[in-house]
Every structure is written in C-alpha cells, then in structure tokens.
Amino acid sequence: MDLSAINPVILVASLMVAATPILLAAVGELVVERSGVLNLGVEGMMITGAICGFAIAVETGSPTIGFLAAMAGGALLAMVFGVLTQFLLSNHVATGLALTLFGLGLSALLGQGYVGVRPPATPKMDFGPLSDLPVVGRIVFGHDLVVYASLLLVAGVWAFLRYTRAGLILRAVGESHDAAHALGYRVVTIRLLAIAFGGACAGLGGAYLSLIRVPQWTEGMTAGAGWIALALVVFASWRPWRVLVGAYLFGGVTVLQLNLQAAGAAVPVEILSMSPYLITILVLVIISSDRFGARLGAPASLGRVFHANR
Amino acid sequence: MIALVRRPAPSRLWTVLTPPLAVLATMVAGGLMFAALGKDPVLAIRTIFWDPLFGEFAFYYRGQLLVKAAPLILIAIGLSLGFRAGIWNIGAEGQYILGAITGGAVGLAFYPLDSWIVFPLMVVAGAFGGFLWAMIPALLKVKFRTNEILVSLLLVYVAEQLLAYMALGPLKNPEGQGFPGSRNLSQYDAAANNELIAGSGMHWGVVAAFIAVIAAYVLLNRHLTGYHIRLTGQAPRAARFAGVNPNLLTIFCLGTSGALAGLAGLFEVAGPAGQISIDFNVGYGFTAIIVAFLGRLHPVGILLAGLLMALTYIGGEAAQSQLGLPAAAIQAFQGMLLFFLLAVDMLTNYRLRFGRAQVA
C-alpha cells in the first residue's frame, strides 16, 4: 500500500464535494424536522432529484436548469408526502417509507434512456488568480457553485431559525402544534412549506450526485445517502452548524476509504465500502447515549400527526 | 368544505374495505402510468393481474405465485409484530441477506456430505443469522436508545457489501472457474430446498410461511406477549403502567422479525435462487413493508397481501416480456399502492363531514 499517493489537499477538496449531497439533504430535513414533521423519504426525494436534474441537464445542455428541475422534482415528490401526512393524516414513518420506495421505482423508470449518457459539465466558479494559490486555492476557491450554495444554505437556515420571526414560528409549530394552532398560526401551511423546502434541498443534493460527483446516472445511485442525511440530523441534534460538521466528517470518511481502495489497502474492498455506514451507526450510538443530551434537541412534536379538532 | 371528525374507535367496515379500495385506486393510477409509457393500460393491468392466474400459461405462473409470496409473507409477518408496537424494523433486507449467508455457509460447510441433518441445521443457522443481525439495532436501542429505523436500514448496505465479499471470497465456488457466487445449493440434494410437490411451487419456505401466519395469529389473539404488543402500539403509557417491559418487547419484536427474515433468505438461497451471489437479494425485505401494511398488520391480511404482491411480481415479469413494460414500472406501481393505502386509511380513523367549517 502506498499511502504517499494520498494528497491531503486534494483529500480535503474532494471531501467537500463528497459531503455536499448529504449536507444539502440534511439541512433540508433539519428544517422539516424542526417544524415537527419526520420525513423518512429523503432517499426517495434525493434519487428523484438525481434523475430529474440529470435528464433535464442532458436535454437542455444546461446544468443550472438541471439543478432547478431537480429542486422542483424533489419538492413535487415531497408534496405527495405533505398531502398525505397533513391533509389525510397518515403516519409519518409509514408515509416516508412509501416515499422512498416509490421514489426509487419512479427514478428507475424515468432514468431508462439515460444510462451511460454523459451529462454536461458543470463549470467551477471563476475566482481568477485566487484559484491558483497553493492549498487554499484548491480547498477554498476551487469548487462549483453548488458547494458554496450549500454553505450559504447552512448559514441561511441557521440565521432563519435563530433570528427571524418566521423561524420562531416554525420552531413553535415543531415544539407544540396545538399551542401554535391556538395562537392562530397555520400549522398545516407552515409544515407544507417546510416539507417542500426539504424536498427541494434533497432533490438538489441528489442532482449534485448525478451531475457533478459521479457524474452519470445509475439506478439506486444514492445508495443510502438519504438515510445518512437523516442520521446526520440526529447527530447534529437538530442544529445547522453541527450538520455541516457531521457532513464533512462523513465526507472525509467516504473519500478516505475510496483513497485507501485506490492505494490498494490490504483490507478487502467490500469492508472499506461498509465503513461509511458503520461509522454513521457508531456516531449515532455515541450521540444517542445520554451523556451528550442530544435528545434534548429533538422537537417535541416530531412525527406526531396534527389534527385540529376545533 | 370537508371536515374530518375522529371516530371514537377505528371503523371495522373500513378496516376491511380500505385495502381493496387502495388496490383499485392503484390499478387506475397505474393504468394511467402505463398509458403514459405508451402501453395499452387495460392490456397491461390484465397481463399483470389476470393472465398469471387464469390465462393460457397459468399452470406455470400459479406455482411461481407461492415461490414469490413465501418470503414476502414470512418477512411481513415478522415486521407486522414490531410495526404494531411502534418498533420499526425496516432493515429486513439485511437480515434476509444474513440468513442466506449463514444458512448457506452451513450447507456449504457440509458439502458433499449426504445426510438428512444438513438441511435442518441450515434452517437453524439461517434464522440465527437474521436474528443476530436484527439484534444489532435492538440492543443498541435498548442500551443507547439509538434510533432503530436508521440503524436497521444502514445495516442493509453493510449486509450488501458483506454479501459481495462472501460471494467473491470465502464462499466462492472452488470449482466455479473463477465466476463469482457459491456452489449451487439447489443441486446439492442434502441442502436443497426443492419443490415438495412438483409444479406446485410448494417448498419448505411456503410451509414455514403458513406456520408463521398461524403462529402470529395465535400470538396476537391468545397470548399475553401478543396482547402486550397490541397494547404498546395503541397506548404506550398504559402499557408502561401495566408493567410491559419495553426493552424486552423491542428485543422480542426485532429478534422475531430478524429470524423470520433470515429464514426467508435461507429458503430462497437453498431453493429458487440456488446460490449465494452478488445480486442474490431483490428487495423482498422492502416490498414486505408494503405487504405488512396492505395486510393491515393482521396475519390473515398479510397472507392475502403477500399473494397479491407476488402476483404483481409475476405479472410484472410477464408484462416485461410480452409488452416490454420496464421492470421499474412495477416497482413504482408497488410504491404507489402503499401511498394509496395510507391515503384511504384515513377513512378508518376519521369520518368525513361535509358542510360549512365551524368557526373555531
């Protein structure tokens, strides 16, 4: 094994790329969960976004339109979940699972003609000479628009939840929907908006996978990224900046194990491929044990069905 | 304006009516989907739901029905116990894989010994493999209060990697000329899970599925543990006051569903699939979730739902070869079924009231 082949600068730069899909999906899900809705359909929305973005980008030749289409696709699918849970009062867990199962089937159906097709390349942001700086150039100034957008999104969600009135209302709905309802807030509308936002974020994350990270379309290509995003929200105890830390940590593990595979580590490839999932479980265990008080961060109405009697 | 009024108790009528209603709605929506794909919707629905049972080649398809339904029913019965108690094991796919690996490995270890003891040992090992895999989320939940949904699901991806490792490494057929995959168990008589009656599709897995249905029925209706499961699902607080130990219940529900999923995996690997290969699993563990809900988490309902879901698999394959309907369309169709089921399920717990909304 030749560890010297692993360049730390490229490692950090590529871990940011590896982390971006799950970061986007996790931030979206964080807002959804803060509003008291548990949407387990992240995987389904991601993969739908992946194919919507891919197909539209290939057809139009523009990755930007592709990303917008992915957001629309993810949000649209999320609205199915929204209508079922908010109007037809179905169980959040079961409906989320249905969303994932349906999304996987739908995406495979939509993606039939797109296997083996190369998507149009997404240009990197042009920072001029800044990108040529050693180390910093590659890590800070060497990415595409979506990576920066995802970082801005984390900051935006944090500021929204912490400093705005709308964010306060969203949190109130998540903590006690009955109290929020009694105060006259439209619980269902607020939750639907949050669900749509979560869907758009997951869709964008999925399209980032199919258009930039991989970049091609294969069935089931998200391979559990949506579930890892869900785990990240728990890991982050429902706080935006911790989602960022978690996503980059996870991205680091993914990139490192890929590098180890390429460097020819003495461990079987399959064992290395397991490691991101195993580490996610391990982190969940550590966070869930009482010492970290992660449970305190969970919105009190999370996953409970809201039905206004009066 | 339509208002929803909560029923004092779930409607018995709608409990029975909602699954057929959902199937009907799915057929309509699915027909629209098939039409959008440029296929004749009526012909497609007929090919999927009617021809395998009553068509020209029904004699072949009817046997397949039991072969496909058995793993779905076995897994769904296990899942339904947990779902009733609010314990969400959604990693049955992983437990199914592990059952196939452990059970298959025991069979391969005895090769070429010809003794009646081999197959029973494989069955025990398969159930134990699934049980152990399910114990990971169970014990983590009990000890650290880790979310069992996420852990069990993430373990599916781990199990898939393990399967690839086994098929390419330790369990690879030494006489396989380098091809991935184990020896063919269905050709090793002592380990084979072949049809008990030729042409019927009846193998030991089908027998086990029927036993599981009966056992689950007895457990839920005639046994204290079954009562505790139902109580915990409907009123968790009341269950705690009644002295139900939630930890034991978690271990019981996850363990049982894991063992049943492991059994399903073993029967599949020793019979219809034949060998441990990279793409051995085909998503029965996930489809079983739909089966469990479609069967209203009731053993008899699950039996019927499992047969119906098996029909969509077989009919789907037929539609694939005859009409060129893509395989993914069936997957989307199955997902749609769960959506419609959850949507109409509202009628069980709520009454619709038409008229002007009251002022709060």
What digits encode the pLDDT tens for the residues A35-92?
A: 989 888 899 999 999 999 998 988 888 888 989 999 999 999 999 999 988 888 888 8
Q: Which of B24-38, B172-186, B269-283, B325-339 has the lowest average pLDDT?
A: B172-186
Q: State pLDDT tens for residues B177-215.
A: 777 777 877 777 777 777 777 767 778 888 889 999 999
Residue B135: the pLDDT is 94
Yes or no, beta carbons of A281 and B151 under 8 Å apart: yes
Q: Which residues of A touch B293 (CB under 8 A)?
A: 94
* pLDDT at A4 (0 to 100): 65
Q: For residue range A168-178, list pLDDT tens digits in order.
A: 999 888 888 88
Write the pLDDT tens digit of every residue in B137-158.
999 999 888 888 889 989 999 9
pLDDT level of residue B99 (50, 70, 90 thresholds): very high
- Is B232 inside any structural domain? no
What average pLDDT does range B25-49 have in this prediction? 85
How much is the pLDDT for B256? 94
Contact B198, B59 (CB under 8 A): no
Q: What CA–CA distances, in Å, run from B27 to A106, A180, B30, B359?
A: 16, 40, 5, 39
| Cα dihedral B236, B239, B245, B246 in deg (nearest 10) | -10
Residue B328 in any domain: the answer is no
pLDDT of residue B119: 86
What is the model's pLDDT at position B162? 92
Check pLDDT > 80 for residue A136. Answer: no
Sorting pLDDT into bands at 50, 70 and 90, what band is B1?
Answer: low
Pick from A230, A270, A289: which is nearest to B161 by CB?
A270
How far apart are the CA of A268 and the nearest CA of chain B, in angstroms?
8
Give the per-residue pLDDT at B359: 52
Residues of chain B neighbouring A103 (CB-CB closer than 8 A):
335
Record: contact A285-B140, CB cut-off 8 A: yes
For A121, which DSSP code?
P
ipTM field: 0.85
Per the DSSP assignment, residues forming a β-bridge with A144 are A124
Query: Does a structural domain hold residue B44?
Result: no
Is residue B247 one of the residues assigned to a domain?
Answer: yes
Residues of B in contact with A90 (CB under 8 A): 342-343, 345-346
CA A309, B3, B8, B10 dihedral sign is negative
The answer to whether the CB of A38 falls within 8 A of the CB of A302 is yes
A234 touches chain B (CB under 8 A): yes
How many alpha carbons lie under 13 Å from residue A278 in its C-beta half-sphere? Answer: 12
How many domains does chain B fold into?
1
Of A219, A270, A278, the CB nearest to B165: A270
Question: Could you tell me the two tokens for B116?
Answer: 């009646």
User: What integer is the mean pLDDT of B167-177?
Assistant: 80
Average pLDDT over residues A176-191: 87
> Mean pLDDT for chain A?
84
**B332 in a domain, yes or no?**
no
* Residue A188 in contact with partner chain B when CB distance is under 8 A: no
Closest CB to B334 among A90, A101, A309: A101
Task: Give the pLDDT score at B255.
Answer: 94
| CA dist., res. A301 & res. B10, Å (int) | 23
Residue A291: predicted pLDDT: 63
Give long-range contacts, CB 8 A cutoff, 24+ apart: B118-122. Answer: B118/B190, B118/B191, B119/B190, B119/B191, B119/B192, B119/B193, B119/B204, B119/B270, B122/B191, B122/B266, B122/B270
Let me know: does B272 contact B66? Beta carbons within 8 Å.
Answer: no
- Radius of gyration over every alpha carbon of chain A, rounded to an integer in angstroms: 20
Instruction: Return the residue of A nearest to B152 by Cα.
Output: A281
Domain locations in chain A?
3-297
Over chain B, what is the mean pLDDT? Answer: 85
CATH of domain A3-297: 1.10.3470
| Of residues A84, A95, A223, nearest to B157 (C-beta) | A223
Mean pLDDT of A240-257: 87
Q: What is the pLDDT of residue A2?
A: 59
Nearest by CB: A102 against B157, B336, B350: B336
Q: Which residues contact A38 (CB under 8 A, 6 or more apart)?
A: A32, A92, A93, A96, A302, A303
The segment with the largest mean pLDDT, out of B74-78, B103-107, B170-174, B292-296, is B74-78
Q: Which of A25, A104, A304, A303 is nearest to B290 (CA)?
A: A104
CA B67 from centroid of its chain's CA atoms: 13
**Interface-testing mutation among B88, B146, B359, with chain A (most A C-beta atoms within 10 A):** B146
Question: What average pLDDT does the segment A232-250 reach?
Answer: 87
Structural domain range at position B102: 64-211+238-293
Mean pLDDT of A192-206: 93
Q: Tokens for A75, please give them.
A: 């949000």
Using an 8 Å Cβ cutoff, are A215 and A62 in contact? no
pTM: 0.88
Chain A hits for B319, Cβ within 8 Å: none
